[in-house]
Amino acid sequence: MSKSSVWIITAAAALVSCSATSATSFTPGAVCDGSAEENRKIVLNFYNEGLVGLQPRAAFERYMTPDFVEHKPDVPQGTREAAAGFLEQLIAAVPQPRWEVVRTIAEGDMVFLHGRFTPAAGAPYYAIADVFRLEDCKIAEHWDVVGPPPKDQANPNPRF
């Protein structure tokens, strides 16, 4: 894999890092009370549609506010359109990535996801932390931190 492919994978993994494997879901158009649990469901549904379903543009249109703010420095302009395009490029470059949600924490209008991303079968995991802020039952902002696979695992405790 080329260095540029690794960079794209790393950057995109941080932006969209996990597959939602939750038994709960939020139905778009349903009454949303803005609770922490409803916000968690919205974020997990975004992952299911945008990443697992490989439909980032549709997911951004459905789950993000029109004035969504992306804080990732790798996404030009930091807009909803730019973030959706970034993910489309990732999916075109890596057609079978795998995201897994390890845990979520929801508090008020904030949802945190800790996940792992694998760019290819058998490849080492990237550790991902995504933070979303919701507004009126839509994702309004996103921040992330990505940790590439360690070269040496000196610590005996696992990352996940």
Each residue's pLDDT tens digit in the chain (160 positions)?
544 444 444 444 444 443 333 335 656 566 899 999 999 999 999 988 987 788 999 999 999 999 999 999 999 899 999 999 998 998 888 867 888 888 999 999 999 999 888 888 888 888 999 999 999 999 999 999 999 999 988 999 988 8
Question: What pLDDT does 28 receive?
Answer: 58
SS3 content of the chain, % helix, strand, coil (to 5): 35, 30, 35
Diameter of the chain by CA atoms? 49
Backbone angles phi, psi at 28, to 5 degrees: -55, 135
- Residue 78's pLDDT is 97
Q: How many Cα atoms sit within 13 Å of 18 on the Cβ side? A: 26
